[in-house]
Every structure is written in C-alpha cells, then in structure tokens.
Structure 1
Amino acid sequence: MLQVNFIRENFDQAVEGLQKRFFAEPKERLQKVLDLDKERKETQLQRDQLQAESNSISKQIGLLMREGKKDEAETIKKRTAEIKSQIKSLEEKYGEIEEALKQLLYTIPNVPHASVKAGKSADDNEVVLEHGEAPTLYEGKQAHWDLIKKHDIIDFELGNKITGAGFPIYKGKGARLQRALVNFFLDEATKHGYNEVQPPILINEESGYGTGQLPDKEGQMYHITHDDLFLIPTAEVPITNMYRDVMLKASNLPIKNTAFTPCFRREAGSWGAHVRGLNRLHQFDKVELVQITHPDKSYETLEDMSTYVQELLKKLGLQYRVLRLCGGDTGFTSALTYDMEVYSAAQEMWLEVSSVSNFETYQANRLKLRFKDDDKKTTLAHTLNGSALALPRIVAAILENNQTEKGIKMPEVLVPYLGFEWID
C-alpha cells in the first residue's frame, strides 16, 4: 500500500498518477488518508500528554507519601484514575482510526510510474517492440484445441469430468512437453543467478494481504473456508511473503528467487476464441521470478527481467511483442508492467504469456520488508516479479506455430528435455 508520507509529500503527483488509472475520486480519497493520519497523530499526542501527566502525578504521590502527607496523596490519586480512563478511551480511539486508515489504504492502488500513459483498457497499451515473423503454415492449419484432439495429448473433457471446465488433463507427449518446459525454464533461471525454491501452494490471509491479492482479488482466488486458506494465483505470493517482517542488509540485495508451481484462478470469461482451449484456465503451471532490490536499482532490474523473458521466447523460436501497460490495465499493486505476448499463427491473435512488474515499495510497505544501509538507515525495499513463463499459451503457440502436414516439430532447445523431436 502507499505510504502516508509519500501521499503527503507528493499529493499532486499521486492524484495525477491515480487519474491515469481512472481511479474514482483520487483527490478526495487521498485527502481522507491525510485527514485520518492527522486525527491519529492528534489522538496519539493527547494520549502521550496524559501519560506524561500521569507519570508526573505518580512521582508527586511518591514524594507526598515519603513526606507523610497521605491525605494530599489520596486526593491526587483521584486525578490518576481519571487520567487512566481517558488514556484507555484515547487508545481505543487510536486503534479505530488506525484500522480505518489501513482499510482505506488497502483500497487505493499503486501510483503508476511517470512513463505509464493514461488509459482505460488493454486497447490503450503501448507496443514497445516486436520481434520475429509469423510462420507460414500449410493450408490445413488448425488451432491448438483441434491439434490436441488430433494427437491425443490434452483432454479437456476428461478434466471436466473429474473437476470441471478449465482443468485439463495432459497426456503422453503433452505431459512431457509440460515437464520439459518447466525444467527448461527452471534451468535457465538458475543459470542466471536465481535461487530455486519450492513454496506452499496454499497461503493464509496475511500472506494475501501482504502482496496485495487481498482484498483486491479476493473473488478471483479459490478459498478453502474450513481452514481459511487460499490456493495461490501465482508463486509471487508465497515467495515474496518469505520476507514478510524481515529486516535485510543492503549487502543482501538483490535477492533473486524462482519457483515452479501450479496456479489457480477462478476468473473465467465468456466463451470465445480468446478464452477457448488453453487460452484461459482455472489451473495452470508457471515458473515465476521474484526479485527484492534496492530502490535505486529496481527499474534497471525491471528492464533486465524483461530482456530475460524475451530471450526465453527467442530460444523457443516464437514471435513476440512487448507492451507497456496503460494506467487502467496495470495491476492494482504495480507501478509499471510490461506484458509479453506471443503470436498464435493459427488463431491469428496475440496471447499474453508473461507480465513483468515493478511494485516499488507498495508490497514492501504491507510486508514491512525493509533493509538497513551502511548508515544504519532503515528503508523499504522494492519488489518485482515476472512470469518466466506461464505454460498454457506457450504450449498453444508452440503447437500452432510449429504444425506441419507431417506433425508438430518441437523447438530445438526442448528436444534434450523431451527425448523426441516430433508430436505425430
């Protein structure tokens, strides 16, 4: 969440940034934050003044008792009781104000980076670059939902029988392709200095609030009500929460972690080409990258992470483009996000396969994720994450873009992991 000091010191900038998101009543809501903070400080000051008076009276009572002036001491004690009652009331009021302030801050998204342009939807996103050319396919080209049936490698009907729509079963070479991609992505990440971790796929409510999935995306997550736990929508959540309430040293930065996990999202969408087949699932596999950096390095890190994801797509031989998301399409917690999309030659449309985001201090403020520099100054770290990569649409693009009349040719970089060159 936003820091109150940031809002106070950069009020106009914050309002202007939230307007890029078309966030409702930014000026009024940010002013409410400052009003609550002022009331909180005034309440704290009153409490501190009364506590100081109480301490002074206690010393006075002790002195009177030592001087044998018991009656005077008893008279003063009555004021002490009044003060204690007032302090209790002020502490309760302070707690209520602080909770109201926190809940209000939870509803305000991150302020976009200066380079983010105003916009309401994905239609307003900027294409930063495009790489590669669409393959020329044979006349009988098929979309991946037809190819998977033809080659019997993914079964949606069977998954629907066992669980429901959006939970496919991968079979034979389809399952091996999944495993090959996961291993390839993890090997590449560890080669580039990321530490592999295997986090839980269930999180508690505190973790959801820590990285900003709660309360913003509560309806998109699967909730296990009996245990009050949530299935993760991305490995970003458990990995980043590893550092909740942690004080790091500047020398620890950057911290680079990667993980493979299944991911679960309730979002569905209406029927159509953009959600058909592997284009949108309730359960899918993903390799995630998470970095914790010094604030001075975070945007350099964001560019590095974007370049890294692009290199993966080049090695897979996929045409791709990079988008800088507009304010309205940028995630609630992000200051700047790049989306990587691959071109699906059979569907003749772009498919998002990765988002790389810089959250600046937004998550760190919720997490109380800080570090001490050489001067022993305590500073909030910056957090970043990126998909490297999400598998379903990568699989869809590989199947569609590499199809031939003979079969589907696998990317050369995956063959050592697969043990075969063709799906036929």
Structure 2
Amino acid sequence: MEVANVDTLVNPKESIDIDLKNQSMDYIHLAINQQSVDLFLIPGSLDTLTFLENDSIVFSGDLSTINSFLFQNVKENLSFSQLNHLTAMATHGEKDFIRFNEVNDSVSIIQLNNLELKRSQLPSWYVDLEKERLHYSAVANKLNSISYRKHMLNFEDDLPTDFLEDLVNSLPLENEKFIGESRYMLFLHEYTNLKNREKHETKVKVEKSEKPISIYMAEEIDQLFTRNVKDAVLAYRLSMLLESSRSEYDSTVLEYFSDNQMRNFMKEYFYSSVELKPGTKMPYFYLVNQKGEDVESNDYLGNIVLINFWADWCKPCIVEFPHENALVEKYKGKPVKIININIESKPERWKEYILRYRLKMDNLYANEIWTKNLKTKYDISGIPHSVLLDWNGNVVENKTKTASRGVDELIDELLRKMEL
C-alpha cells in the first residue's frame, strides 16, 4: 500500500541503492533514463540494474531472468501499461458487451501466449504463478469494466445468465500467496463491490444513519472474507477511503482486524497518510471566476471556506450540487464561503454546467497548469474532494465531509468558535 517515489540524478559510473520493503510479491514500475521498466519483486530479493551507454539494461541478481523478460516485453510493446492502453483504446465507447468481452479476453490470451513462448527462459515456478495472477487480473478487469460501464457510461449490459457467478467462481477467492499483489487486491475489491450491489443495502443504511462508512465497510468485509485475506481487503479499502474521504474513518474499525501487526500498521497509516495537515496554510491559487474576474485565495481570508473540487465527467460531483447550493442558502449573510473549483474540464463545459445546475456558489476554473498545481498542493487523488478552512486561511480538514455528508455540522462549530 505504500508508494516510494525516487527522483534522483546519478552520475556516470556511479550507483544508487534503493531498499523497497515489500511484504508480498508484486510488480513496480520505474521510469529511468526516459525508459519504462517493470520489475518483479518478492520479499528478500536482491537485484541489480546496469545501464549501458547504448541505453540497454543488464539485469543481475535473484530475479534477473524474470526482469529481463519484462524489459523485453516493453521493447515488444507487451508491457502491462502498453497492453492496458491497447485495451482501453480498443474498448472505448464499445456498446456491445460481447465484443467488449472478446477484446479483453484477446489481450489476456496475448499475455498467456507470450508467457508460454518464453517459458524456457523463465523459472517454472514463476510461469505457473504468473498464469494464475493473469487469471485474477483478467477477472478483475472484467468486474471493474462492468461497473464502470454501468455507473460512468450508463451502459446497461445484458449479461449472460450466471455470467458474474461463473466469473468469480472460476478461481479461488481467498489465496494468501497473492495477498498484497495489486491485481489480486483489485479482484477482491471488485468482488466486494459486486456483493454489496447484490444486497442493495449499504447505500440505504449509510444514508439513514450517522454511522461512518468505514464501519459499514468493515462489517461487510467481515462477512465475506476470513483472517489474513479479510485483513488485507479491509486495509486496502481503508487506505482508499483515507485517500478520498478521511472524515468517514472511525478508529473503532481497527477492532475488525484479526492481526495485531496489521491493526497497528493501519493506526499509524491514518496519522501519517495525510499530506495537508490541520493548521497548514491554505495552498495558494489564482484562478478566474464565472464573470471572467481574477480571484486569489487570499481574497477569502476572514471567512470560513469550503472548497469543493469537481469535473464535468464526475457523476458523484454532480450529485453534490444541490447540497452545495443548499449550503450557500443556509449561510447567506454569514462569514462562510462555498467555493467550487472545476478541474480537468473544458471551460465551455464548466460554464454550461454552472447554468444547467444553477450553481450558486463561487465558481472558479482551473486550467491545465493550475489543475496540476492544485492536485499536488491539495493532495487530490480523486473527486469529489472537499477541504474546510478557518477564517485565518488555515486547513481544518482536508478530504473532509462533502455537502451531502453533513459538512455543515463542522461549519456550524467553526462559526461558534469564530463568534467567541
């Protein structure tokens, strides 16, 4: 779950040691000398990459044959990212589910055939392991695609009878040797989403109760999985929640972990994972509003501020619009400003949506450069993304509750403090 970013310059004939403490087998992606490199890692492995003047790479160490194979795949346009891009391009906008499925399957077949073709170059244990992993990856992609097509593209696929059941039953659900491996974890994530959709209970329960989403999440995972796999899925889902909505985290969720080490890890992760900590000065911005006027962050000092980041393609963002408009009405005449900052959209679409949804808040637009800047400074990993600031321009909570989830309670509390 932890990501290590290494940005460095190494002089000719010098070396650099990178110690990645992975707890399971997995792949990582590196960009070195403007070259893409996929590396396979297992706990305790030691590998060396030597870069030659002709831009070739020599691999040595415990997993050298495997990593040489992966590097050769990049040259042959068979790397994971290249094939994922190929799949996305080939299926974009495809309405026919059978055709869509055939494309996904064809890419999986390419990967399996390539593995078999080069079997003699690879350890037999790796070939068997990778075959199994590719199976999980293929199923995860299909489950993810079905969900994406329904909720983002409004495609109601007519699935064959027992299609989903046969799909998830085609491989072992709980497979401890893959715990932590990204594609297996995506499979478990999508399986959990599938089961929740079948029950149609979570959304209704969350909307009618004040219980945080993290607790419902833990209860559902506790019913679906056992011991180490349950802990891994819960940690995976919680880390995603902390990336997007920290306010939905409740410390009692730690009681659902079976393993004390994992419980302690998640406890530490909660405190260390926030980038924009409470008390931090509001990151600066200089944007344009819907009237064409320049607006900067300092203009809002003296007001309690709720900033909502959104984009035209984000359906959950649009769901928030009526609730955000309601906040504008609630705090009319009070030192509270609701700001909606549009990112990753064309300016004409931004203006169209302001009119279509009669947006009453301060509407600001971020161009491509400012979007990149804001996503970094405000630690935006997904949208909708909201941040609450006090009247001095200090962060109260980044990734706070959205308007529909009761952020006005926090604003009311700040108003009381402001009036003291």
Q: Please, what TM-score do these two structures have when normalized by structure 1?
A: 0.28
The structure whose Rg is larger is: 1
Higher relative contact order (CA closer than 8 Å, sequence separation 6+) = 1
Q: Where is the strand percentage greater, Structure 1 or Structure 2?
A: 1
